Structure 1
């Protein structure tokens, strides 16, 4: 957990958040142990902004990864931020409901609240919901 939270913290430094001034970083560990990071990238119209978790997932998927086993999210404020609903749905596309989501809430990298993705977004829309086999 500690290493993943630290990777998310490192990603915060790359955030582009001139409008909200709320920098977010995420780290995603693939099933083979590779870690991908992402940061929020804001846009003046807001709706085109990218969230940190989406950036991390996009980087991993574009490299061929489709299975993840842990996620860490942090903000510059270290306020225990959790993924938003949109990011939860994006994570659910590639993560099992039991995947831990570490939400950084302190100065020590071990000060994170752990959630299960399925607790953050129960009864998600899935390929099965749409009658599609992944």
Structure 2
């Protein structure tokens, strides 16, 4: 590796393997003491982590972390997950009531967050929460 003028002192090797889709992946590594299978497994595990973080950014709307301590990160992730699951629950309990006014989940969550949800959907959210509250025999959510 490196140019002819200034070559690197570190030895590298190229590992080739096939991913789940049949695509050939080539990885350059300086891990000489690992087998090609171990390097391929490490790559797959790393890629799984990247996919998980992409899911967090896209679905939980967590583009950056507000704290650096483990407790701050856990708190932010738990809050984002709770918000996500409440939004999912509301969407699933309200969408069947609307035959003509279809909203996909992403648009539903966006307009719910920005306060521009159509009136018929607001009524469905209210009714779903009232029904759930009555079924669980909790103190009233709405007066």
User: Does TM, normalized by the shorter one, top 0.5?
Assistant: no
Higher RCO structure, 1 or 2 (CA under 8 Å, sep 6+): 1
Alignment TM-score, normalising by the size of structure 1:
0.28
Instruction: Decide which structure has greater strand share.
Output: 1
- When Rg is computed on C-alpha atoms for both structures, the one with the higher figure is 2
Instruction: Decide which structure has greater helix share.
Output: 2
